Chain A
Amino acid sequence: MGKKKGFLTTEFYLAVFLAAILLFMAVAAREFYSINNLMSLLNSFSYILISAIGMNLIILTSNIDVSAGALISVVCLSIAALGKQGIPFAGLMAAAMVIGAVLSTLNGLFITRLKIPAIVATLATTQIFQGVLPLTVDGSIYDLPASFTWLAFDAKIFGIVPASVLICLIVTVAALLFVKYSRFARKLYAIGNNSNGARLSGIRVDRTVVWTYTIAGALFGISAVIIATAGQRVTTTMGSGLEMTFIAAVVLGGTNTAGGSGKILGTVIGAFILAMIAPAINYLGISPDWSDAVKGAIILISVVVGAAKYIKKKRVIDDPAARERSAA
């Protein structure tokens, strides 16, 4: 929202960082740019970004959702069960969005109605989501029909680009516009920035937060479709651990976890960087065991750089002595 910052924004630095990696890969491991790799990278980028956008909305309100991964597992398995009956893609997509939205709304209600801190509420639902899966399914649902894997195998744009990229593009463009121009997004920023101030502006804070979870849940559902339909077997742990990647993409993109600031564009770049790390490491001939550690290091560095800016800003306001010195 700050207009006069010029182009030296978080997004700009991130984009430079991304370009540097891409350039490095071009020199160090040319095979990275093989069509196959690029397409699979785009596919994982798609599902990471769609969910990260949902996570971004939640974090804007200064809440969080650590149950996203488990929720995606539940949705994956649910649509697999439907897909087994031969239900076509459109039906699967609709079901996934509804199931995701409903489960995520539960999170929102726990947080606002029962006043449970978001991290605790969603930790608990993570356990519940993960816990019910083995009770209903024995390990996995397999031998899924071709109608189920239509998105991954048949729906290619120009016969080559995965259709998930198109879905991601639609979601992203909608989100960019939505966050910049909609009333709802304006409320999110207000709530994250100063929830009491929002209340005094007549915003129904709790209701808005619940809706945010609902929307994010629908987006998690879309990601779940992309993940689940990639193969003929859907296991009970397809989404495990993904929540950390989503949160990381948001944080890497410059959104403050305290809420109230941050842009979708940053999350787009953050998601791309995270989607790229595993294949990049693979093509550089480094053991894939390193990829999580590298992800962690990148996040840590970006957060420290961001926090340094933040702390400096905060000092001036909070410390009366410093205020006097700067006034003098």
Chain B
Amino acid sequence: MENATILRLQDIVKTFPGVKALGGINFNLKSGEVHAICGENGAGKSTLMKVVCGVYRPDSGSIEVNGKKESFSNPMEAYRKGVSIIFQETSLFEEMTVLENLFLGHEITKKAGPFTVIDYRAMTIRAEEIFRRLSTQIDLHVQIKALGMAQKQMVEIAKALTFDANIIIFDEPTASLTQREVTALFAIIRSLKAEGFGIVYISHRMEEIFEICDRVTVIRDGQYISTKFTSDTDKDELVADMVGRKMGSYYPKTETEIGDTLFRAEHYYDSGFVTDISFYARRGEILGFAGLAGAGRTELMESICGLAPRTAGRLFMAGNEIEVQSYKDAMARGIVYVSEDRGKYGLIADMSIENNIALPQLDKLVNKFDILNTEREKELAGRYMTDVGIKAPDGEFLVTNLSGGNQQKVAVSRALALKPELLILDEPTRGVDVNAKAEIHKIISGLTQQGLTIIMISSELPELIGMCDRIYVMKDGALAGCFDRGEATQEKILSVALETKSAAG
């Protein structure tokens, strides 16, 4: 079958300050083909697709759509030229109707005397025709918020079709669908394929890739690795491509004396997602939590720290049961959490380094008139600034002006200033450059020698394997496995994290 190549990416390079997100990616898509892109979390799949549809501009490389070189400056332009993308989180407007969403930004208009008005009739006819093509029935006049996840996705697909797009990109489309909905979605993808659409399918669910896709391209750490026909390869080979063989020795894990159990969770449930979790952490141990994005690792930790409700289960600290109602309770018990998104949740960007470090323990820095002792605040912050090695002119420097790595160090300093026994680090090295990463690893290793226990959530497997004494693997809100330092490999962890979702859904 000689189908035309409708999308060709050549040597796409994209760097963010300090990070090379994409380092020369090649990709091509033929009409009538479903082409998968797979890779670990953070491999660059989503960045690549954002480059294709104009959210980001590549530093170099070329994008050819339907035989013409293109450079989109926004997704709307990409839509008009035939490329539409269906994001993981739908980008529909909840309060507007299906019909309004379908044609948002490119409404069909007509002349009514001197005015240009929206032609609802023409839009309705067009929409009905599209839904007939998708053999789906959705009420056009119902608000998006009334629809289920699968229906929303259908609206997204229909929206793509209103643009006469011939390239449709699906970004993890099945993440929140039930098994039956997945089957329906695949039927639609097959019919689109038969009509000659080219489909890019981003996923790390192996079964789906082998079921629906013709070819699969693997990327890892922003690098192009391979493109294969799904009929010529198998799951093991893909996993091997995804993780690669390299294993950095730059994780300076120092052997520490591991003591008795410090923290224990028993049959722990949060308010709906995290299910029946039991685990323990020993003194001086670095405990890793692996899993795909959305496996429930952050939810579990937030709940343990009193930042989200708990519905069942017990927590123990040094053998005594503890009651955690709020984050203050957790801090009082020596449990401190450093959030994954320091920009959004962790630090107060417009405050100084000192103010940020002191913020959780202002109570200890005030006299009886609630007046802060700024000298002691300076002293407290200064101590940790030097210990952790924050690179800034002085403590009054605003956090917003620091680099990602240094911001992370402020977040860690703030946690350490609370003198925790159990420090929970959520993605401590996300978005920081290689040097800062190594420094943070060194700090973490150093802390365990002082007897601290560390729980580290990370989506970078080499990091976990290099740093941790034990690694728990989470999947769909539950624990799916646990590996000791000696036996943990990327292949083992990934295959546990990727296990097929039970067909019950």
Residues of B near A198 (CB, < 8 A) are 348, 359
Contact in complex: B372, A183 (CB < 8 Å): yes
A87 to chain B, nearest CB (A): 30
* Count of A interface residues, CB-CB < 8 Å: 31
| Chain B CB within 8 A of A115 CB | no
Report A315 CB to chain B, min CB distance, Å: 15
The answer to the question of B398 belonging to the interface, with a C-beta cut-off of 8 Å to chain A, is: yes
User: Do B350 and A260 have beta carbons less than 8 Å apart?
Assistant: yes
The SS class assigned to the B binding surface is mixed
A186 CB within 8 Å of chain B: yes
Q: Tell me if B351 and A190 are in contact (CB < 8 A).
A: yes
Q: Give A320 to B54 CA distance when docked, in angstroms.
A: 11
Q: How far is the CA of A187 from the CA of B360 in the complex (A)?
A: 10
Q: Does B1 contact A (CB under 8 A)?
A: no
Residue A129, interface by CB 8 Å: no
Q: Are B351 and A1 neighbours in the complex by a CB distance under 8 Å?
A: yes
In the complex, the answer to whether A187 meets B345 with C-beta atoms within 8 Å is: no
Residues B365 and A193 in contact, CB atoms below 8 Å apart: no
Once the chains bind, are A193 and B372 in contact (CB under 8 Å)?
A: no
B240 is an interface residue with CB less than 8 A from chain A = no
Q: Please, which residues of chain B bring their CB within 8 A of the CB of A197? A: 344-348
B339 at the binding interface (Cβ < 8 Å): yes
Residues of A within 8 A of B339 (CB): 200
User: Bound complex: CA of A260 vs CA of B331, how far in Å?
Assistant: 25
Q: Which of A74-82, A201-209, A219-227, A272-280 interfaces with chain B? A: A201-209
Q: Contact: B328 with A182, CB < 8 Å?
A: no
Picked from A193, A196, A203, A327, the residue with its CB within 8 Å of the CB of B350 is: A193
Residue-wise, chain B 323-360 has the 8 Å CB interface mask toward A (1 for contact) of 00011100100000101000011111111100100011
- Give the residues in chain A near B207, CB-CB below 8 Å: none
User: Chain B residues near A323 (CB, 8 Å)?
Assistant: 17
CB distance from B372 to the nearest CB of A (A): 5
Q: Are B348 and A193 in contact (CB under 8 A)?
A: yes
Q: Does B374 contact A (CB under 8 A)?
A: yes
> How far, in whole Å, are A180 and B359 apart by their CA atoms in the complex?
14
CA distance A184 to B56 in the complex (A): 42
Q: Does B396 count as interface, using CB distance less than 8 angstroms?
A: yes
Are A194 and B370 neighbours in the complex by a CB distance under 8 Å? no
Nearest A residue to B59 via CB reads A324
Give which listed residue, B351, B365, B374, contacts A189 with CB less than 8 A: B351
Please indicate the chain A residues that have their CB under 8 angstroms from the CB of B380 in the complex: none
Q: Which of B327, B348, B352, B366 contacts A194 (CB 8 A)?
A: B348
Instruction: From A189, A203, A321, give the contact of B57 (CB < 8 A).
Output: A321
* Contact residues in B for A199 (Cβ distance below 8 Å): 307, 327, 345
User: Contacts of B254 on A, CB cut-off 8 Å?
Assistant: none
- Complex Cα gap A204–B360 (Å): 11
Contacts of B351 in A (CB 8 A): 1, 189-190, 193
The chain B residue sitting closest to A3, CB to CB, is: B396
Tell me the bound Cα distance from A140 to B327 in angstroms.
Answer: 51
> Is A63 interfacial (CB-CB < 8 Å)?
no
* A202-B331, A202-B360, A204-B326 given; A190·B372 CB < 8 A: no
User: Is B73 engaged at the interface, CB distance under 8 Å to the other chain?
Assistant: yes
A1 to B327, CA, bound (A): 27
Q: Find out whether the CB atom of A203 lies under 8 angstroms from the CB atom of B396.
A: no
CB distance from B122 to the nearest CB of A (A): 35
A200 touches which of B307, B352, B366 (Cβ 8 Å):
B307
Cα(A2)–Cα(B348), bound, Å:
13
Chain A residue at minimal CB-CB distance from B365: A183
Residue A158 lies at the interface, judged by CB distance under 8 Å to chain B: no
For residue B350, which residues in chain A have a CB less than 8 angstroms away from its CB?
A: 1, 189, 193, 260-261
Q: When chains A and B are docked, how far (Å) is the Cα of A240 from the Cα of B363?
A: 40
Asked whether A181 is an interface residue with its Cβ less than 8 Å from the other chain, the reply is yes
In chain A between 56 and 108, which residues have their CB closer than 8 angstroms to a CB of chain B?
none
A186 touching B360, Cβ below 8 Å:
no
Is A182's CB under 8 angstroms from B346's CB?
Answer: no
Asked whether B503 is an interface residue with its Cβ less than 8 Å from the other chain, the reply is no
Bound-state Cα–Cα, A216 to B253, Å: 53
B371 within 8 A of A: yes
Interface residues of B in 361-389 (CB under 8 A from A): 362-363, 365-366, 369-372, 374
Cβ contacts under 8 Å, A193 to chain B: 348-351
Contact assessment for A184 and B370 in the assembled complex, using a CB-CB cutoff below 8 Å:
yes
Contact with A along B243-265 (1 / 0, CB 8 A): 00000000000000000000000
* A193 vs B346: C-alpha distance when bound (angstroms): 12
Residues in A243-277 with C-beta less than 8 Å from chain B: 260-261
Residues of B within 8 A of A (CB): 17, 55-57, 73, 307, 326-328, 331, 337, 339, 344-352, 355, 359-360, 362-363, 365-366, 369-372, 374, 396, 398, 414
* 24 pairs of residues in contact across A and B, judged by CB atoms under 8 Å: A1-B351, A1-B355, A1-B398, A3-B352, A181-B371, A182-B366, A182-B372, A183-B362, A183-B366, A193-B351, A194-B344, A197-B345, A197-B346, A198-B359, A199-B345, A200-B339, A200-B346, A201-B348, A201-B414, A202-B331, A202-B360, A203-B359, A260-B350, A321-B57
The 4 nearest A-B residue pairs measured at CB: A183-B362, A201-B359, A196-B345, A201-B360
Instruction: Apart from A3-B352, A200-B307, list 20 A-B contacts with CB within 8 A.
Output: A2-B398, A182-B372, A183-B370, A184-B370, A186-B355, A186-B362, A187-B362, A193-B351, A194-B347, A194-B348, A196-B344, A197-B348, A199-B345, A200-B327, A200-B345, A201-B359, A202-B326, A202-B328, A203-B359, A320-B56
